Amino acid sequence: MPDDEIPDDAEVERMLAAAMGGLTAHELLIKNSLAERENVEERKAAIAKNRERALKLLAALDKPKD
């Protein structure tokens, strides 16, 4: 569809249905909320791991050299 062409309501409904993957609006909201929560948990785990690595690096730098 050219950029300057305005789709009719039926075409908009088909595009919306395709984008939603056959889910209802409520199901899509729940799916996205669960994915976001999982992503937050992954970020927290990555932050903790990075903090642990940084502390180990600082400890290694603070050790006196023989």
Measured in whole angstroms, the distance separating CA 58 from the mean position of its chain's CA atoms is 31
Q: What is the dihedral of CA 42, 45, 50, 53, to 10 degrees?
A: -140
pLDDT tens digits along 47-65: 999 999 999 999 999 887 7
pLDDT at 49: 97
Q: Are 44 and 38 in contact (CB under 8 A)?
A: no
Confidence of residue 3 (pLDDT cuts 50, 70, 90): low
pLDDT at 29: 93
pLDDT at 23: 87
pLDDT at 19: 87
Tokens, residue 53 = 């690595």
Give the chain's radius of gyration (CA, Å): 24
